[in-house]
Each structure stands twice: as C-alpha cells, then as structure tokens.
C-alpha cells in the first residue's frame, strides 16, 4: 500500500512538472470550419456578428484545465468561455460569439484572421508549476456584401401657382459597402393635374461608390386649372446591385407642394369701354344774380295794367 501511494504521488508530481505526451497522452484545440475546410471563411452577418464553434479534445489520462484568449479583427468583440475543465478522454465543444463589427465601414468581401488561444493551466486539478503548454487555432472572418441606398427630396421653399412649375432636388446616397447604382425609379403624386418630368432618369446612368451621392432635379408642373391643394410627391428608388443579386433594396422619400390659384393681372382703364356716354353742356353766360331777380319782380309790379 505504501509503495502504491508513493507511486501515485510521483506520477502526479511528474504531471505537474512538465507535459509527458508519450506517457499521459495529449490534448488538442480545434475549430469546426465551414464545410470542414479551414480555407473557407466565416461570413459575418449584416448585424456584425457570427458564431464560431471550437473544441478541446483531451486524450490524456487525467482531466485538464484550459484558459482561453481571443483575438478578433475588424474591431469586433469576443464572447466565449474564459476557462474550462475537460475530463480525461473527453471531447468538449464551445461557442465563440463575435459581435460589434461595423460591416458598413469595411469593403465587401474583406477577410481578416481571428485567433483562439488555449493554455493548459492544470492537470488532475493541480496547477502547472512550469509555464503550461499552449495551442492556437486560426480562421478567417469575411465581411458581407451590403447593398443599401438612401433617397432625399428637398422641400420647396414656398407654394407654387397654378400654371407654373417647381424644381425639387433629389439626392441618392450609397450607404452600403460596395459600388452600386440606381436600378428603378418611381415617381407618384396625389394630384391629377400635377405632372412631373423624367429628370430622375439620369440617376440610373451613374455608378455610386460607397459613401458617395448623386443628385439631379425633378420638375413638377401644375396646370392652369389646378385648384388650391397640397400635393404629396413620392420618389422610390431601388438598388441595381441588390436586384442583380436576387434581393430587393428600396428607398423612399416624399415632400409636399402647395398649389395656389394663378396670379391675376390688374386690368388697365379703358376710355372706350361699353359704358353709356354722358353729355355735358356748358355756357359762357353768367348766371343771374339775386339783385337782378329782385329788380325784375319790382318792375313787373309797378307796371300799369293794360285796360280794354
């Protein structure tokens, strides 16, 4: 019994002092690659995250304690186990969750390497007295292709009159991470007497680099008989890249144009109008005064009556 105890202690001391692979077996760190191919990268989602499965295969005769460390590219954050115990002869799997990658800030299909490090810290529950062995496993993270566009219509500075037009500036911005262009354009409004030109067709001819914009003018014309009304104009544009990839990416914006009655010009005075003429008669003779009137009456009173 005593010799058996001494032998057991000796084995434990030996295992703590240094790894003896030939006698105790070995352990291995591995990653479960997509398609079981280490050259195939892990695709980061549009939310900036990805889940990575990895494992520790312990072929030693005793249980081992492992500490983990992670290096994540593209400014991502790692959420995985910090340390784990793996029993003798066990194969244990873990999940490393990567998050926080701003995929819009990196070019589409960009690839960078991530690293998972595993360090042996205990055997049979006892700390390793000498620096423990460590293993690294690496893989690639790949930025996805994101098609995303935005459209903006400037609001008019004021109302327009019937029989006139208004110019609206339309801007399309590529907010994705790959070169794109406008695929389809649709302009609509809720006023039947309001028409728009085809000025936005020029947007479909220009390639737009990530973060860049193109702009053009949209002219809206109100007929002379247009009543007073608030007209809502909507513009919808789609991503040509998304359409070619079998997806759909559509951006919309709208503005309101107020139509007022047409301007009325002041009528000029016309002396030859249809009104009836008024004849004015004037005389150069002086009007009889009050004294003359009194004298005439007195003369008529004093004159003798004519008798038969």
**CA–CA gap between residue 227 and residue 292 (Å, rounded):** 71
Which tokens belong to 48? 């900036």
With residues binned 3-state (H G I as helix, E B as strand, rest as coil), the percentages for the chain, rounded to 5, are 15, 40, 45
**CA–CA gap between residue 235 and residue 257 (Å, rounded):** 14
Identify the pLDDT of residue 16: 47
Write out pLDDT tens, residues 235-251. Answer: 999 999 999 988 889 99
Output the pTM of the full model. Answer: 0.70
Which tokens belong to 1? 């019994």
Residues paired with 95 in a beta bridge: 53
* Sign of the CA dihedral running 246, 208, 215, 151: positive
Identify the pLDDT of residue 302: 54
Write out pLDDT tens, residues 276-300. Answer: 544 433 334 444 555 555 555 555 5
Write out pLDDT tens, residues 200-232. Answer: 999 999 999 999 999 999 999 999 999 999 999
**CA–CA gap between residue 76 and residue 280 (Å, rounded):** 101
Please give the residue that has the higher pLDDT: either 43 or 24: 43
For 123, other C-beta atoms within 10 Å of its C-beta total: 24
Please give the residue that has the higher pLDDT: either 131 or 305: 131
Residue carrying the six token digits 């302009």? 187
Are residues 174 and 194 in contact, defined by beta-carbon separation less than 8 angstroms? no
Task: Please report, for the chain, the start and end positions of each structural domain, with discontinuous segments joined by +.
Answer: 25-142, 149-260
User: By CB neighbour count within 10 A (0-12 exposed, 13-18 middle, 19+ buried), where does 39 fall?
Assistant: exposed
If you average pLDDT over each of 24-33, 71-80, 258-267, which comes out highest?
A: 71-80
In terms of CATH architecture, what is 149-260? Sandwich (2.60)
Which tokens belong to 201? 């067709």
Tell me the pairing of strands 42-43 and 111-123: unpaired
Residue carrying the six token digits 């009137």? 293
Q: Where are the beta strands (DSSP E) in 6-162?
A: 27-31, 42-43, 50-58, 64-71, 77-79, 83-86, 91-99, 111-123, 126-127, 134-142, 149-153, 160-161
Write out pLDDT tens, residues 73-106. Answer: 999 999 999 999 999 999 999 999 999 999 999 9
Q: DSSP letter string over 24-53?
A: H--EEEEE--GGG-TTSPEEPPTTS-EEEE
Identify the pLDDT of residue 82: 97
CATH topology of domain 25-142: Immunoglobulin-like (2.60.40)
């Amino acid at each position: 019994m005593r010799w058996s105890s001494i032998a057991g202690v000796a084995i434990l001391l030996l295992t703590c002092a240094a790894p003896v692979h030939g006698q105790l077996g070995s352990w291995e760190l591995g990653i479960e690659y997509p398609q079981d191919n280490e050259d195939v990268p892990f695709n980061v989602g549009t939310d900036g995250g990805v889940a990575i499965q990895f494992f520790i295969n312990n072929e030693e005769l005793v249980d081992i304690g492992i500490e983990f460390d992670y290096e994540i590219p593209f400014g991502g954050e790692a959420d995985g186990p910090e340390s784990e115990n793996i029993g003798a002869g066990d194969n244990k799997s873990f999940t490393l969750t990567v998050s926080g990658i701003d995929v819009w800030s990196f070019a589409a299909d960009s690839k960078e390497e991530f690293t998972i490090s595993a360090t042996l810290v205990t055997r049979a529950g006892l700390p390793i007295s000498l620096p423990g062995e460590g293993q690294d496993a690496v893989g690639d993270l790949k930025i996805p292709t994101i098609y995303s566009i935005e459209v903006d219509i400037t609001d008019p500075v004021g109302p327009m009159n019937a029989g006139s037009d208004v110019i609206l500036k339309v801007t399309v911005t590529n907010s994705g991470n790959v070169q794109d262009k406008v695929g389809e354009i649709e302009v609509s409004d809720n006023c039947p007497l309001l028409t728009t030109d085809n000025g936005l067709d020029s947007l479909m001819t220009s390639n737009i680099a990530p973060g860049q914009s193109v702009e053009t003018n949209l002219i809206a014309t109100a007929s002379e008989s247009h009543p007073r009304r608030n007209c809502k104009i909507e513009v919808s544009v789609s991503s040509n890249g998304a359409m070619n990839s079998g997806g759909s990416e559509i951006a919309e914006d709208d503005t309101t144009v107020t139509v007022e009655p047409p301007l009325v010009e002041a009528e000029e005075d016309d002396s030859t109008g249809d009104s009836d003429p008024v004849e004015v008669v004037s005389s150069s003779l002086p009007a009889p005064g009050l004294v003359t009137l009194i004298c005439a009456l007195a003369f008529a009173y004093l004159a003798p009556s004519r008798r038969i």
